[in-house]
Amino acid sequence: MMAEKKGNMDDIPRHLPPKGSDTSRQELLYDSNIPTPSHSEHARTMVSRIGTGTLCTLSTDPAGYPYGSFVTFALHEDEPIFLISALAEHTKNLQDSPEASLLIAEAGEGNPLALGRTTLIGRCEKMAATERDSAKAVFVEAHPDSAFYADFKDFYYYKLRVQSARYIGGFGRMSWIEGQDWKSAEPDPLSESAAGIIEHMNEDHRDAMVVCCTSFSKATDTSDAVMTGIDRYGFEMSAVTEDGPRPIRLAFDKQATTSEEARIEIVKLVKEARMKSNQTPGAND
């Protein structure tokens, strides 16, 4: 198992630019030391909001080959559980070899390789009869349609005991995560409201984001900006500059655990940015 590496953004391995390209465009235009979710937090957030994935097991027939199955899952005490039939190939495979992995991938527009994915690795074994009731409650809540077959005698709950994980957040953002780091990380509390916040900011307050970029980052020539992400620690934007779109991240003064707290923190940043740039306050909702 490999531990999640933390440190300065400059220490993170990155893809090499094309030969002869202008490497100045790779310079970060914001403070890399501001609070940012760890890769384990990103992974936990992703897995907590996606209930499907690819379960990979070791095939028994033909023997020794990786076998991928599309499955639904739920999190039970921080680890994924599955309700699977005794007739399924992956169930037969797990009975012979419990070593398995689960790939969870984000869906979205654009280049699919630029989206996030997480692979959880460990031993996937049948849960004890004493855990069946709690497993059923968690699984049926996540997948209501499973109530139809949840009590079938030939369906069993299996749990993947996570020993390590591989997180990839897009090009050049990746690391190994130890099992303990996976279990101790918490999903981001703004995960469910993030899409609505981003849509609101991009539709109504792009001018506010422009002034935030020009006041709090090196992107002083920003002509337009859109919010691309938000979490408990802060938010990210794509700023339109003379050199093209550039990523900008700003941190909140206090962690935001609700959409209202996030609104308050954004308003504070906008007011401060406008004061720095001698603009009239606005965008307070």
CATH of the domain at 222: 3.20.180.10
Residue 10 lies in a domain: no
Tell whether pTM > 0.75.
yes
Torsion angle, alpha carbons of 175, 176, 178, 181, to 10: 20
User: Residues 68, 176: one domain?
Assistant: yes
- List, as one string, the DSSP characters of 125-191: EEPPGGGHHHHHHHHHHH-GGGGGTTT-TTEEEEEEEEEEEEEE-STT-EEEEEHHHHHH----TTT
User: What is the band of 172 on the pLDDT scale with cuts at 50, 70, 90?
Assistant: confident
User: Residues 90, 199: one domain?
Assistant: no
User: Residues 167, 199: one domain?
Assistant: no
Residue 25 has pLDDT above 70, yes or no: no
Write down which residue in 184, 218, 246 finishes a domain.
184
Residue 194 has pLDDT above 70, yes or no: yes
Write down which residue in 184, 212, 237 finishes a domain.
184
3-state helix, strand, coil in the chain (%, to 5): 35, 30, 35
User: Residues 99, 208: one domain?
Assistant: no
Residue 24 lies in a domain: no
Task: Please state the rounded mean pLDDT for residues 189-211.
Answer: 96
User: Residues 196, 166: one domain?
Assistant: no
User: Residues 117, 149: one domain?
Assistant: yes
For the beta carbon of residue 220, count every other beta carbon within 10 angstroms. 12
| Number of domains forming the structure of the chain | 2
Query: Could you read off the pLDDT of 117-161 as tens digits, one per residue?
Result: 999 999 999 999 999 999 999 999 999 999 999 999 999 999 999
Angle made by CA atoms 7, 197, 14, in degrees to the nearest 5: 30
Q: Which residue segment(s) compose the domain that 244 sits in?
A: 190-276
Residue 15 lies in a domain: no
Write down which residue in 143, 158, 184 finishes a domain.
184
For 118, residues 6+ apart whose C-beta sits below 8 A from its C-beta are 43, 46, 47, 103, 104, 165, 166, 167, 168
